[in-house]
Chains A and B, each alone.
Chain A
Amino acid sequence: EPEVTQTPSHQVTQMGQEVILRCVPISNHLYFYWYRQILGQKVEFLVSFYNNEISEKSEIFDDQFSVERPDGSNFTLKIRSTKLEDSAMYFCASETGGGTYEQYFGPGTRLTVT
Chain B
Amino acid sequence: AQKVTQAQTEISVVEKEDVTLDCVYETRDTTYYLFWYKQPPSGELVFLIRRNSFDEQNEISGRYSWNFQKSTSSFNFTITASQVVDSAVYFCALSEYGNKLVFGAGTILRVKS
Q: Do A and B interact with each other, yes or no?
A: no
Instruction: Report B's interface with A, CB cutoff 8 A.
Output: none
Instruction: Report A's interface with B, CB cutoff 8 A.
Output: none
